[in-house]
Amino acid sequence: IQRTSCQPREVCIEVAKEYPESTSQFYLPHCVALHRCSGCCNNEAFYCTNTSYALVNKTLMERSQSRLDYTAVTVTFINHTSCDCLPKRPLRSIIRRAATDRLCSPPERACASGLWDPANCVCVSADTINYPEREAEVLDSGLLALCGPNRVLEESTCECICQNGLTEASCDPGWKLDHKS
């Protein structure tokens, strides 16, 4: 049972899937070893999810489409540090009219923020959750490290977008949106 229980496990994560907005960069290695929650819960009404995480920095070699050489860069990733089996339904007394309420299972690919709201079927940013002030500061720094400066988490897509709302389509002909700034 210990080998299959809900716990952080080392897995191979593709950098491009963790940073899908970095389409103009190529990273070596293409994958990094991180911990993600997985395993079985003792009850089918529960699912395995992360309850805490740490930000880890990995040194990768980066090459953009415009350059031929590689540059060493530090990239921040979310590493799950503890997991728990949480109910798919909110903890409340079940009444007949609530029996039709359904909660969504977590997506196949983890949310970029690492926070899944099963009641609303969306990835959530840390600022939508009431955390003590100290924990909120840690989460804010985590999202800053995840999205970078001048970027915010778009809750509907769970992707980092420009804070000023600019998109590729809003650029004049011959100009390209710099996703890093």
| Token pair of 33 as six digits | 């070893």
pLDDT digits (tens, 9 = 90+) for 67-112: 778 889 999 999 999 999 988 865 444 443 443 345 566 666 666 6
Supply the mean pLDDT for the chain.
71
Query: Quick one: pLDDT at residue 93?
Result: 42
Q: Taking every pair of C-alpha atoms in the chain, what is the biggest distance, in angstroms?
A: 64
Cα gap 79→90, rounded to integer Å: 26
Range list for CATH 2.10.90.10 in the chain: 1-88
Domain 1-88: give its CATH architecture: Ribbon (2.10)
Query: pTM value?
Result: 0.48
My answer on whether omega of the bond before 29 falls inside 30° of 0, hence cis, is yes
